[in-house]
Structure 1
Amino acid sequence: MFVAEAGLRHFSYHDKRHQFEADLEKLATFPEQIMVINMNYRMIRSLFEAPTAPGLRSAANDLGLPDFAPPFLAAEIFDLLFAPSPLLRRELHVLREELSLPKGQRFIAIHLRTGDIAWDPGRHKADDLKVFLDCARQAERDLGAPPSELRWVLATDSAQLAAEASQLPEAKSGKLQLPHARGRVHIDRSDLGETLHGATANYAEWLLFGRAAAVVLSRSYFGETAAEIGRVRYAYFAPGGGCVRTDLSSS
């Protein structure tokens, strides 16, 4: 794959959302038929609806593409291009067994990203856990499900927060489940050895997250993309003390 990409024009927009939007017209008018664009934001919607890129809109019209991003387009593209490997399927199966979460068991996935790993910027504090769990209760009410029916799965990058959460009454009763620490890595920030050891478990958590009945999110690419690829329609942002339901069907 890397050899095939060697002769292509490459652009990197890592942490450069506004620059990507400003460059859309330029990108649309490059003569190359294929370009490689790297970014860490969900920006597909901008490709359809950017008002400052008439060249891009014209090219989209020539291809017969719609004026607005179709619902869950990213999920459709992902399903077309990718499938879990046997190793990842096995890791997902092991994860479900560890969490006592068989297929068909409905659950709410909670992602609380603190930044307490590698050199990741600070996100949320351990004290925010109560807000995230309260939001999970709101999701239960919105789903119309009794509390006894849905389990909670908490994914976090903080060993301290995981230890504190494991002592909560919800954890001791079995309602709140936490994955093992081996998947607690940051794919592009952790040391190489840690990443190689934990990457498969991390991706298994990501895939499981997308199979939830509802998700409670940090402001993080991990949870957002998992929910979008999994077509999760009950998605909530908990940071800031709120519990705001959001539409992730269009990037």
Structure 2
Amino acid sequence: MTGRNMAHVVRSPEEIFIYFSLPIMFVLVFGYVFGYGMTVPGAGSYREFLLPGVFVMTMLYGLGATASGIAMDVNRGVVDRFRSIPMARSALLTGRAGADLIRALLELATLVVCGLLVGWRWRNGLVDAAAALGLILLLRLALTWVGIFLGLVVPNPDTVGVIVFPLAFPLTALANIFVAPELMPGWLGAIAAWNPLSATVAVARELLGNPGAGGDSWPAQHPLLLAVGWPLVLIAVFAPLAIRRYQRLGR
């Protein structure tokens, strides 16, 4: 099932281009157009502040591809065909999750290269950089199960974009991706600090040695705990919901 989903990715390169174009556009627009007027806590390069946030934002928008792929399988009757052959019932969902992790790794590699081209650097060693990317992929795994559940719930693939992107955009805006929560109004900064995306971005900046890490709030002081805790909570909630919904489809 993982190989099947990866074959779809290879045969649909335009889909990869669409999902890559958005984060690259954010890097260019915010890094070069608005970057010179943006303030980074503790000073430093805004592009180095921005790139870890763009890594995480790409993981969030990737759940749109997950949800649409699952919804397309259900809508075309592929799920019913898989039920008629001798295979584990969990293979379709876990195979999709595995393929999305491989795809996310490729996306991260591409964004790292793009970041290096625009002047971003990681300041710590390779071990810390690998740990930061591992936490980003952990968040992607959690978001994959959210996307799988949405794909099983929506009535058709066309509905996915109507649901996913209006939810994803406020989550990226109300986070520390583009602006530090300390620079926001009090109540808005509190929401941004507790955003699951903010925890992963904060600990990624700390591990990569990029500016913007730290803060006085409890989430800012414990980013690693939340960067691990939030994805585990999302998996614990949405993986059982997705499996239950998948089983009910057969009835």
TM-score under structure 2 normalisation?
Answer: 0.29
| Bigger radius of gyration among the two | 1
Greater strand fraction, Structure 1 or Structure 2: 1
Query: RCO greater where, 1 or 2, for CA within 8 Å and sep 6 or more?
Result: 2
TM-score under structure 1 normalisation?
Answer: 0.29
